[in-house]
Structure 1
Amino acid sequence: MTSGQLDLAAKLRFARAAVFAQLSGLPDLIRARLTAGPGTAALLTDREPPDTALTREVLELARSSYQKPLLGHCLRTWLWADLLGGRDGIKPDQELLYVACLLHDIALTDRHRPPPEAACFAVHGGEVARTTLAELGAEPSYADEVAQAIALHMNIHLPTDQGLEAHLLHAGAHLDVAGTRAGELPRQAIRDVVSMHPRAGFPDCFATLMLRESAERPNSRAALLWRLGMRLPLNHNPLDR
């Protein structure tokens, strides 16, 4: 994936991977809806994000750019990513992960929407993040890593060899949208996260944005996922149980 625009062969590969991922994830989703989840809560309700000058600037940008349901999604994405990282023994750069999670849907906002010629909102969002972070004084390599993580987060799979932070952003975002890996988390941890950042209005908000992306960028990953039935896991996410 470069520009984010899929040709026919790429669409077929992407569709096969998406369908296989949905089918292989069904047992986990069923378990998440029927059980309390494994173990004990590993996430404390007072979990605080990294507090640096950069994270404060990025949080302010997020608050001023996102609709409330989408801001909540980005904040939950970080918490899910943090929790899954702890569960899997992954030790990312915490600041970089937080910044990437906060900015990963920046191109879905009215302020930073892609131009008509853009092929993919996630790729455009990565470029917005890169430019923004450079303006805030981040090192070019740091801004590049954030941009890459954001550009890749709409992939079906994202292994750790493409970046620990990218992998965890992907995991957290897919969990919040579709419930992926929810069955691996303690039910109390899920309650804690949803209590901190309620999901009210998020499924409808995200569905509206994905429908728009599907219409405006029909050859993008978002459009293909929407046509493959994204609405179903979005509306039946076990996080809302």
Structure 2
Amino acid sequence: MRQEIAGIKIPDSRLAKDAADILREHGNDLLWNHSNRVFLFGAVNGKKAKQNYDLELLYVSALFHDLGLTEKYSSPDLRFEVDGANTARSFLQQYQIPDESIQLVWDAIALHTTPGVAEHKQSEVALLFHGVGLDVMGDGFEQFPEDLREAIIKAFPRNNFKKEIIPAFYEGFKHKPETTFGNMKEDVIKYFRPDYNNKNFCQCILHSSWSE
């Protein structure tokens, strides 16, 4: 029987199991538990709102959304979100998944740290974004049913998540801090390196090659 947590049946197809194996092999317990909580938070919200979404695509998106933080999948010069999205795309192409579904997963992962955009896209993209927001920053905590929240945490414990996730972010992209320009992960760099200064948008405009 498929495992069910908080009223959500965990996908158990070959694709889903292979995706889980990749995260298990190249991630750690912190990312494993976090990614599964993100999936379940998103899936519960989708079910509660009676949204039409693909559970398996949401699952793969959640499992891969932080893979760009791992040594195996971290590039030298791309945002970690894009590294995870690219990894998911390469993975899904092996299973004859339609291009539009692959693009949907790519968008969900690449935009999961982009407020003001992700929540307005397709259900899978928005649900992943909200699942991440709930688990990392507590967004929507009071609106999420307490019994379901506790069931999810029991299955995938937080284990000092608040204190451990910030260093995990930093370790994932400390070698390429410039990729945090224009996004919230710059706060992580500054948390560990207060004197770090990324590019400034206004200075980029004023010092561009245009003559006027």
TM class, shorter-length = 0.7 to 0.9
Match of 1:165 among 124, 129, 136: 124
Counterpart CA distance in 2 for 1:167 and 1:127 is 19
Q: Does 1:85 align with 2:46?
A: yes
Q: SS at the partner of 2:8?
A: coil
Q: Percent identity?
A: 24
Aligned to 2:176: 216
Counterpart CA distance in 2 for 1:82 and 1:91 is 11
Q: Does 1:226 align with 2:188?
A: yes
Deviations 1:40-64 (A, max 9, x none): xxx9546321222211111111211
Number of residue pairs the alignment of both structures matches? 185
Structure ranking higher on relative contact order (CA contacts 8 Å, 6+ apart) = 1
Could you say what the CA RMSD is over the residues aligned between the two structures, in angstroms? Answer: 2.2
Counterpart CA distance in 1 for 2:44 and 2:161 is 21
Counterpart CA distance in 2 for 1:65 and 1:195 is 23
Counterpart CA distance in 1 for 2:118 and 2:66 is 20
Report the Cα offset of residue 172 of structure 1.
0.2
Deviations 1:125-161 (A, max 9, x none): 1111111111243232222211111001011234554
Mean CA deviation greater in 74-83 or 198-207: 198-207
- In structure 2, the gaps of 5 or more residues are 192-212
- In structure 1, the gaps of 5 or more residues are 1-42, 230-241
* 2:108/2:118 contact within 8 Å kept: no
Give the TM-score normalised by structure 1.
Answer: 0.69
Give the TM-score normalised by structure 2.
Answer: 0.78
Report the Cα offset of residue 222 of structure 1.
4.2
Deviations 1:91-120 (A, max 9, x none): 2111111111111111111211122x22x1
Aligned to 1:76: 37
By percentage of residues, which structure has more helix?
Answer: 1
* 2:41/2:134 contact within 8 Å kept: yes
Counterpart CA distance in 2 for 1:97 and 1:216 is 28
* 1:78/1:101 contact within 8 Å kept: yes
Aligned to 1:185: 144
Match of 2:65 among 104, 109, 116: 104
Query: Against the structure 1 CA distance between its residues 228 and 82, is the aligned structure 2 distance closer, same or farther, given a 3 Å change threshold?
Result: farther
